Amino acid sequence: MRKLTFTFLLAAAVCAFAQPQQTMHLTLAEAQRLAIANNPRVSAARLTAAAAYEVPKQYSSAMMPSVGASLTGVGADDGSRLGAGALNNPVVYSRLGSGVVVNQLITDFGRTRQLTGMAKLQAQAQDQVTQETRADILLGTSEAYFNVLRNHALLTVANETVNARQLVVDQITALANANLRSQLDVSFANVNLADARLMQVEAQNNVSASEAQLAAIMGLPNQTAFTVADEPLPAPLPDRVADLIAQAIQQRPELSELRLRQNAAASFARAEHDLYYPSVSAIGSMGLIPQSYTDLPGKYGAVGLNVTIPVFNGGLFHARSAEARFQAEAAAQNITDEQNRIIRDVRVAWLNANSAYDKIALSQQLVSQAQMALDLSQSRYQLGLSSFVEVSQAQLNLTGAQIALTNAQYDYQAQHIAVDYQVGTLR
């Protein structure tokens, strides 16, 4: 009975594994939503930001009371004193006692406040890192999506080319068998057909590879079959790039992050300078001694005020303050460098998108002219006015034009998304 059950389960597992994977139907918006929901980079960025918001609480806790309880039991020669290990020499009694100690920082002249502000700014900067990661994932998903569309379209071109060239081979072979065409023409036609089949195999491989890339960035690595919906061509970009650059300077999360980190560095520099100031704290202690030497009372309590004044530490505070100030100045220079890079990237993306848009119309004209040339060359060949080499070249030209048109259309869509990313509107 157990053997039959195991055999049944094994057969069911084999059948389930052998079943073809269900195709996932996607739009661009759905692919982006799945990528944001499933990609581990987004989750990691959010968790890192959540961790950063715990740091200000750690700094601000210095201004809150610190309460500690203790329980002490001592066995000693009553009235004996410590003779080594310390400058003081207290009397030690056998005792059993418990108590509470309360510490409260009264003021450190703004250092803790500056450190808390620094941590809050760094946490806000980490939020911008999350936005950067989100934009990166959206850009990568969009590019992978359009790459899938591109490769599906190129596969369609390859399939149509194979069918068309197979038809030509069949026709010329029939004519050659009737001694109306030479075997050389048949050879040329077969070469063109073999070239089309090679293109078909490569196109199929590119489809599978691009679908694997899309699945990975969406966080679905085991899903490798997609049906993707075509996206309409976006409108042309503005004629002036200056407006896009100004928008990017305001909206790019990388710049916002660097500005926040520069403010955090300035706050930390002020906190390091505050090391020169004294700190004032209070301490209180109370407790019970239920069992002890007869000279000790059954309870105790004390309150004290402690003022710590830095006098000399070998230039440590000066060096720390100078380091923090230089780091803040370096952070300001990083903002300028990033701004220059963003201006360059926006300009290049705008140029690439406009170039891709112009190529669409030119590629459409190229396809139209190549189709006309192929029709004319076929007519001339059928009338015996030209060789098959002319038809072969016309076929190659048409295939190249169709590929160029497909690439131009999806290049423009991908470049338009890249402009949105560089401007900071892809979120």
- Band (pLDDT 50/70/90 cuts) for residue 85 is low
Whether pLDDT at 4 is above 70:
no
According to the model, what pLDDT value does residue 350 have?
A: 96
Burial of 314 (0-12, 13-18, 19+ CB in 10 A): exposed
Query: Phi and psi dihedrals of 101, rounded to 5?
Result: -120, 130
3.30.429.10, 1.20.1600.10, 1.10.3720.10, 3.40.50.150: CATH of 34-75+93-423: 1.20.1600.10
According to the model, what pLDDT value does residue 18 have?
A: 42
C-alpha distance from residue 279 to each of 272, 308, 312 (Å): 14, 5, 15
Q: Which two tokens stand for residue 139?
A: 């850009």
Region 116-140: what's the mean pLDDT? 96
Burial of 165 (0-12, 13-18, 19+ CB in 10 A): buried
C-alpha distance from residue 78 to each of 91, 93, 293, 299, 320 (Å): 8, 5, 7, 18, 49
pLDDT digits (tens, 9 = 90+) for 65-76: 999 998 888 777
- Band (pLDDT 50/70/90 cuts) for residue 223 is confident
According to the model, what pLDDT value does residue 6 have?
A: 41
Instruction: Give the closest residue to 21 by CA, choosing from 228, 220, 224.
Output: 224
- Band (pLDDT 50/70/90 cuts) for residue 225 is confident
Q: Can you say whether the dihedral through the CA atoms of 353, 358, 364, 370 is positive or negative?
A: negative
Q: What is the DSSP string of 151-187?
A: HHHHHHHHHHHHHHHHHHHHHHHHHHHTTSS-HHHHH
pLDDT digits (tens, 9 = 90+) for 165-192: 898 888 889 888 888 778 888 888 898 8
C-alpha distance from residue 356 to each of 86, 89, 343, 366 (Å): 81, 86, 20, 15
Whether pLDDT at 248 is above 60:
yes
> Would you tell me how many other CB atoms lie within 10 Å of the CB of residue 191?
13
- Band (pLDDT 50/70/90 cuts) for residue 154 is very high
Please tell me the chain's helix, strand, coil percentages from 3-state DSSP, rounded to the nearest 5.
70, 15, 20
Region 333-356: what's the mean pLDDT? 96
Whether pLDDT at 379 is above 70:
yes
- Band (pLDDT 50/70/90 cuts) for residue 89 is low
Range from 105-119, 222-236, 383-397 carrying the lowest mean pLDDT: 383-397
d(C-alpha 359, C-alpha 150), whole Å: 15
Region 330-358: what's the mean pLDDT? 96
According to the model, what pLDDT value does residue 3 have?
A: 44
Domain ranges of the chain: 34-75+93-423
Q: At what angle do helices 242-251 and 316-382 cross, to 10 degrees?
A: 140
**Interior CA angle at 258 toward 253 and 260, to 5°?**
95
* Residues sharing a CB contact under 8 Å with residue 136, sequence separation 6 or more, in sequence order: 41
- Is the Cβ–Cβ distance between 74 and 91 less than 8 Å? no
pLDDT digits (tens, 9 = 90+) for 267-293: 999 999 999 999 999 999 999 888 776
Q: Which two tokens stand for residue 117?
A: 């502000």
The residue among 291 and 88 whose pLDDT is bigger is 291
- Is the Cβ–Cβ distance between 169 and 388 less than 8 Å? no
* Residues sharing a CB contact under 8 Å with residue 166, sequence separation 6 or more, in sequence order: 193
- Average pLDDT over the chain, rounded to an integer: 88
According to the model, what pLDDT value does residue 83 have?
A: 63
Residue 186: CA count within 13 A, CB half-sphere: 14
According to the model, what pLDDT value does residue 182 have?
A: 82
- Is the Cβ–Cβ distance between 386 and 377 less than 8 Å? yes
